[in-house]
């Protein structure tokens, strides 16, 4: 027998976005139902941000041992105990899991249902033996790894972000298919942990990033021994477990083969929209996922969709941002709309690459004449002290100083980009950061330095020099 549950808000999916909506709604007093068919915490906790950054931290520790001699510290080659590395990754997940747990959300006042959800009508869905009727619904079902239509792939063992962190031992030779952030981060991590790594990029490494900045990451990966092959197309997967064989074609059309022990597929994401009964609910989908308006409403105005499932920006922080938009719309009836102009991106390679707003090519296409400002980490005293001089800041502005975008490649770029996010969100000009005082010596000095360079030609030009000489005559 199916029992009916009535709610003010029903959230489908307990990943980062869904959890944020459910927690906020429940604490605001709304009758809230949270439905999750798999793991609480979703991809971010179990297969994404948390395990990947934990693995990167272990890999950075190994690399720090290798780099120690540059500071006069001889430690020898690092010994990597991969079982303990994996224990570290699992331990971080376990430490964070209670925050995303069923128990916590039940304590907050949510009705948590562990089952698959499927709409049966515009205002009703079924989950297990329950029927849920709600005033508003939020679809936050996330995404999954995309698999290319590659001959032979389905018949061979391969890894994705959902399985790579469960490896019992470090691969002998990891083949990474995909040159985006996931492929770049994990290629460097496994190389630092002792694997031979070949990364195959269909076009170039980090193809969505400014080529000038992506080149800095590419140089570091190659310097550390990652075999990065750009303009490389995989035609077929052959071989067997432990000896997989890829048939390759390069940009010139030449063919070759490559053998490795493991294959990691990291070529993008697909939204989880299958078997949700969207047609019964009158919800329209598109190539990128569920279609939504600027208020994140679907074609069924009582249903919202957030996070990866809408196919806009597949980032945990965007899912959290979406959650706030939905709370204002669904509970307070405020017409809050998304604004992606100041959404940052970050790739956590070493060096990191982060950006916000328009890059140089997009800015020129949209605005024509622009000012491009750069400042090298090699000119920063803290970077020199830490032997971390690879990198630069690149800022794009209008000729009158209106900020259009900023990008940073270098140590802690994900942290250093934040003042530019604030400036872009608040419509500030470059001068707002030029006048900023920061502690010395810090990497953060690169931001006011690059901003100040906007005024250098005027400040130190002939007219200003003549003015100073004229003022000097006044005594």
- According to the annotation, is 291 in a ligand binding site? no
- According to the annotation, is 286 in a ligand binding site? no
The answer to whether the beta carbons of residues 265 and 200 sit under 8 Å apart is no
- According to the annotation, is 256 in a ligand binding site? no
- According to the annotation, is 184 in a ligand binding site? yes
- According to the annotation, is 314 in a ligand binding site? no
Task: Name which of 259, 262, 263, 240 is nearest 248 in CA terms.
Answer: 259
Which residues are CB-contacts of 172 (< 8 A; sequence separation ≥ 6)? 195, 196, 260, 261, 262
- According to the annotation, is 452 in a ligand binding site? no
CA-CA-CA-CA dihedral for 325, 161, 14, 89, to nearest 10: -110
- According to the annotation, is 142 in a ligand binding site? yes
Task: Name which of 209, 161, 185, 108 is nearest 349 in CA terms.
Answer: 185
- According to the annotation, is 143 in a ligand binding site? yes
Angstrom distance (rounded) from CA 334 to CA 325: 9
- According to the annotation, is 185 in a ligand binding site? yes
Residue 332, CA atoms < 13 Å, CB-side half-sphere: 12
- According to the annotation, is 109 in a ligand binding site? no
- According to the annotation, is 179 in a ligand binding site? yes
- According to the annotation, is 182 in a ligand binding site? yes
- According to the annotation, is 475 in a ligand binding site? no
- According to the annotation, is 141 in a ligand binding site? yes
Return binding residues for FAD.
53, 141-143, 308
Return binding residues.
53, 141-143, 178-185, 268, 308
Return binding residues for NAD(+).
178-185, 268
């Amino acid at each position: 027998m199916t029992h009916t549950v009535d709610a003010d808000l029903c959230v489908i999916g307990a990943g980062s976005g869904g959890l944020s909506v459910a927690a906020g709604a429940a604490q605001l007093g709304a009758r809230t139902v949270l439905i999750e068919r798999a793991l609480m915490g979703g991809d971010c906790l179990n297969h994404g941000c948390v395990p990947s950054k934990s693995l990167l931290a272990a890999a950075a520790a190994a690399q720090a041992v290798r780099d120690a001699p540059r500071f006069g510290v001889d430690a020898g080659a690092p010994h990597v105990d991969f079982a303990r590395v994996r224990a570290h990754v699992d331990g971080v997940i376990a430490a964070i899991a209670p925050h995303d747990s069923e128990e916590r959300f039940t304590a907050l006042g949510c009705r948590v249902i562990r089952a698959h959800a499927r709409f049966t009508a515009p205002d009703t869905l079924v989950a297990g033996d329950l029927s849920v009727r709600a005033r508003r619904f939020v679809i936050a079902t996330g995404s999954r790894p995309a698999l290319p239509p590659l001959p032979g792939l389905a018949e061979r063992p391969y890894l994705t972000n959902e399985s790579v962190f469960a490896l019992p031992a470090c691969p002998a030779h990891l083949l990474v298919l995909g040159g985006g952030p996931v492929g770049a981060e994990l290629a460097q991590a496994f190389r630092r942990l002792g694997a031979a790594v070949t990364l195959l990029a269909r076009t170039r490494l980090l193809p969505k990033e400014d080529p000038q900045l992506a080149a800095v990451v590419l140089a570091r990966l190659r310097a550390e021994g990652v075999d990065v092959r750009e303009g490389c197309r995989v035609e077929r997967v052959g071989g067997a477990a432990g000896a997989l064989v890829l048939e390759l074609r390069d940009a010139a059309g030449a063919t070759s083969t490559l053998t490795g022990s493991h294959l990691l597929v990291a070529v993008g994401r697909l939204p989880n929209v299958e078997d949700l009964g969207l047609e019964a609910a009158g919800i329209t989908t598109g190539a990128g996922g569920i279609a939504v308006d600027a208020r994140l409403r679907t074609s069924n105005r009582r249903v919202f969709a957030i996070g990866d499932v809408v196919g806009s920006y597949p980032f945990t922080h965007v899912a959290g941002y979406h959650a706030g938009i939905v709370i204002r719309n669904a509970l307070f009836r405020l017409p809050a709309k998304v604004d992606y102009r100041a959404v940052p991106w970050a790739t956590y390679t070493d060096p990191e690459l982060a950006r916000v707003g328009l890059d140089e090519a997009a800015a020129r296409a949209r605005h024509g004449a622009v000012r491009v400002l750069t400042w090298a980490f090699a000119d920063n005293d803290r970077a020199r002290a830490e032997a971390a001089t690879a990198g630069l800041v690149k800022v794009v502005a209008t000729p009158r100083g209106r900020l259009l975008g900023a990008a940073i490649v270098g140590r802690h770029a994900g942290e250093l980009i934040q003042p530019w996010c604030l400036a872009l969100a608040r419509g500030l000009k470059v001068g707002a950061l030029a006048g900023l005082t920061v502690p010395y010596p810090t990497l953060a000095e690169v931001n006011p330095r690059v901003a100040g360079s906007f005024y250098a030609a005027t400040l130190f030009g002939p007219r200003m020099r003549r003015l100073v000489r004229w003022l000097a005559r006044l005594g």
